[in-house]
Amino acid sequence: MNGIAHVSLGVNDVSRAKQFYDPLMALIGLELRQADAESADYGVESLAFSIETPVDGQPATPGNGVHIAFEAPDRACVRHFHEMALRLGGEDAGAPGLRPEYSPNYYGAFVRDPDGNKIEVVCESAE
């Protein structure tokens, strides 16, 4: 047991968010498991990540200092994820590259989704 059941990000338009997240999640091996007007869930055998409209009915807003890091199988996938996210309407928040301040092989990239949520993709394997 790892202590985290799943992670959810608030979005204001699930349909628009799915256009951004569907291809990115597929790239890193997470499948769309369920979707409706209020949410979309991604995972492999069980829910791992979801996007959803806030249950309180208020607009979704990104938190400062909060981000979700997705694991990539290799550095090429990190670069592809970042490029694809930008083509899909994301905003650059840190180009692909080594981040030795985290660990010697930490290779990551950061983007903001169309709602402003910060996401990262990372590979820690030596190339």
Please tell me the CATH superfamily of domain 7-54+66-123, with its number: 2,3-Dihydroxybiphenyl 1,2-Dioxygenase, domain 1 (3.10.180.10)
Tell me: the pLDDT tens digits for 45-71?
Answer: 988 999 999 989 999 998 888 899 999
Tell me: the pLDDT tens digits for 57-108?
Answer: 999 998 888 899 999 999 999 999 999 999 999 999 999 999 999 999 999 9
- Tell me the Cα Rg of the chain: 14
Write down the pTM of the prediction. Answer: 0.91
| Token pair of 59 as six digits | 């607009």
Through-space distance between the first and last CA atoms of the chain, rounded to whole angstroms: 30
Q: Give the pLDDT confidence score for residue 2 in this predicted structure.
A: 59
Delimit the domains of the chain by residue range: 7-54+66-123
DSSP per-residue codes, 32-75: EEEE-SSEEEEESSSEEEEEE--TTSSPP-PPTT-EEEEE-SSH
CB 25 within 8 A of CB 81: no
